[in-house]
Structure 1
Amino acid sequence: MKLTDYLKELNAGKKFKPTANLGYVYAPNCIRRCLRISQEEKLVLFEIYSLYNEEKGYAFPTQQTLAMYVGVSSSSISKALKRLEEKEFITSYGAKGKKKRYIPNFALHENPYLVLSETFHFVTKVINKHIPEELCGAWGNKLLALVNVKKEYEFTEKDMYGNFIKSFDKNTTPSDLMVFITQYISNTYHIKLDIDWKNETKKTKEEETVTPHSHFRNYKKRKSNELQPDEHEQEELKIWMREMGIED
C-alpha cells in the first residue's frame, strides 16, 4: 500500500511538529482526508495543533477560545473534543470546571481511523483503474454511503466500515478491508474485479522508490542534532509497514 512520505515522517515518532504560534499549522493529508472524522472535529484538532506548546507538551485553550476560533458554540466544541478523544486523536486531563490540557496523539500509524481511511483511498484509487467507464462516479458514491452511515446506525450490524474500526488493533492488517471493498463493488455491480492486492502494493512501493517526494528527501537531510527515532520505534514502524504490504 502506498504510504505517503509525510506519513512516513509522522510514523517515525516524535518529529511531527505542528509549528504552533507561527501563523500556520501543519495539516497532515491523512487527517485532512480522514473518513469518519467530521469537518468540525478536524478544525478543532488543527486548532489544538496550532496552540500546542512544545515545551510543556500540551495545548491549554479554553472551550470558549476554541469556539471563537472555529466559529461554533461551546457545546459543539465540547462534543467535538469528546469525539476526538474517543477516536484517540487527543488525550485530555484536568479537573472538572478547571482549564483542561490537551495532548495530541502523534503516533498516527496506530490510529484505526487513519489506517483504514488511507487503505480506503488506496483501494478506491486502484479500483478506479479497473472499473468500467460507464459506472463513472456511481460506484464511488455507493462506497461513501457505506462509510457515512446515519448516526443511529454507527457501529451496529448495519455499519460495516464502523465494525472494521471497532475490531481494529495493532495486530490488524488492512487486507480484510481491501477484500471487502472489492467484493462489495463486484457484487453490487455484477462485475469481476480481478485485482492482485499484493502485487498492487508492491508496485506502489516500487514507484515510490523510483520517484521519492521532495519533502521526504528533505526529511532525510534533517539536521544531525534533531531527534531521530530510536531502534524500538524504527522496528515498530518496519513491522507495521510489512503488515501494510509496504515492506517485504
Structure 2
Amino acid sequence: MNWFSTYRVHHRVAGKFRKGRVFILGDAGHIHSPVGGQGMNTGIGDAVNLAWKLAAVLHGRANEAVLDSYETERRAFARQLVNTTDKAFHAIIGQNLTGRLVRTVLIPHVAPFLLGFSTVKKAAFNTVSQIRIHYRDSALSVGKAGKLQGGDRLPWVSGDGIDNFAPLISADWQIHIYGEATEEMRETAGKHNLALYEFKWNPACGKAGFLRNTLYLVRPDGHIGLADSRQDIPKLSNYLSSFGIGQK
C-alpha cells in the first residue's frame, strides 16, 4: 500500500433554509453520502424552486408569501433524502453479516435481476430521477381531483396531438384543462393574465390521473398548485389573490 486516507461522511441538514432576506440551498443546506448520486440533482432542485419564486416576487407576479414555501418544500425533501442515503451508506459499508450480504449478493446479483422487471425499473428510475417529489404539505398546494392533488408533479401526457409539457417552457403560472374550459374560466384566466391550455381529452389523460374538464393550476416548476374538479372560479380567484399571482 502506497497511500491511505480515511473517508468521513457527514449527513446534515441546516436548521433553516431562510432567515429574512437570506436563503441557503445546495450543499450549504444539506450534505450527505454520495450513494445514489442525489446531491447535484437536489441542489439543482433547490435552485429551481427558489429561482422562480424570487423572480415572481421581484417582477410583481406574486407576493412574498410564496417565498415562505421554499423552506417548507425543499427542507422536508432534504431531510428525507439525507435519512435514506445515510441508511443506504451504512448498509453498504457495514462490517457485519448484513453489510457483507449487501456487497456480495444484493448489489451484484439480486439488484440486476430485480431491475429486469419493468415495474421495479420504473420505480428505481422515478426515485433516482427525483420525479416522484411532491409538495403536498406546502401552503401553495390546494385541492385534489382524481389521483392528483395540489403539490404533485404534473404528469406527462403525449400523443394524439397532445404534449402537455410543451407549455411549461414558459416557466410561469398556467391553467390546464383536460377537456373543455367554461367561458367563465376563460374570462378569469384573461383577467389574471394567466395562459389557459385546453387539451383534447383522450384515454391517456385518464391513465395519467387527470379528471375530465377539471381545473389544474400549474406552477412555474411544473407542480400542481390548485386542483379542482368543478372549475370553481371563487376558489381559483381566492388562491390567486392569497399569493398575489398574476398581479401584472
TM-score normalised over the length of structure 2: 0.29
Rg larger for: 2
Higher helix share: 1
State the structure with bigger RCO (CA 8 A, min sep 6), 1 or 2.
1
TM-score normalised over the length of structure 1: 0.29
